[in-house]
């Protein structure tokens, strides 16, 4: 059974939003991935269990999707290992610089009507638009 890309995107968005609302309503915590994973790097003893459980749930969700809809996730990387590593470092730097990741600000922050998250999300989106324009139209990259 394979899900259509549109249905998968809508279902994924609904599940992410529902999970963020559920986490905030039941624990008072914000489901920002960078903050949760960042807390695993330098853990506090009383703050580790829920972070590990949340991260394990992310991994389990991917495994369940792989079993239920095998063609949904890509089989390999579409870029070289050095490019993926550089991209990961840049994302990590940007996440630290922006006090959160795009999903944290875009889903959780905007949902809480945070002005800081609105500004961050606008900067993320404008930067993405500009990057795509430069790569595709000025540098002649892939469409």
Confidence (pLDDT) at 142:
67
Can you tell me the mean pLDDT for 129-143?
85
pLDDT, tens digit, for every residue of 20-47?
899 999 998 888 888 888 888 888 888 8
Spell out the domain ranges in the chain: 1-73, 77-143
Query: What average pLDDT score do residues 55-68 get?
Result: 90
pLDDT value of residue 133? 92
Please report the pLDDT score of residue 122 as a whole number.
Answer: 94
79 half-sphere exposure, CB direction, 13 A CA radius: 8
| Predicted confidence (pLDDT) at residue 118 exceeds the cutoff of 90 | yes
How far is residue 58's CA from residue 139's CA, in Å, rounded to a whole number?
A: 36
> pTM for the complete prediction?
0.71
Q: How far apart are CA 31 and CA 54, in angstroms?
A: 9
Residue 11 or residue 74, greater confidence = 11
Chain centre distance of CA 112: 17
> What is residue 102's predicted lDDT score, i.e. its pLDDT?
82
pLDDT of 4 > 80? The answer is no
**What value does the mean pLDDT of the chain take?**
86
Q: Locate the DSSP E strands across the chain.
A: none
């Amino acid at each position: 059974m394979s899900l259509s890309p549109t249905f998968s995107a809508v279902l994924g968005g609904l599940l992410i939003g529902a999970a963020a609302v559920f986490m905030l309503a039941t624990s008072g915590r914000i489901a920002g991935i960078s903050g949760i994973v960042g807390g695993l790097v330098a853990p506090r003893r009383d703050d580790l269990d829920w972070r590990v459980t949340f991260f394990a749930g992310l991994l389990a969700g991917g495994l369940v999707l792989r079993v239920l809809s095998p063609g949904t996730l890509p089989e390999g990387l579409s870029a070289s290992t050095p490019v993926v590593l550089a991209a990961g470092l840049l994302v990590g730097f940007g996440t630290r610089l922006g006090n959160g990741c795009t999903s944290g600000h875009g889903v959780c922050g905007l949902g809480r009507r945070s002005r800081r998250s609105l500004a961050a999300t606008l900067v993320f989106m404008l930067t993405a638009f500009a990057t795509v324009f430069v790569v595709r139209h000025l540098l002649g990259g892939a469409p």
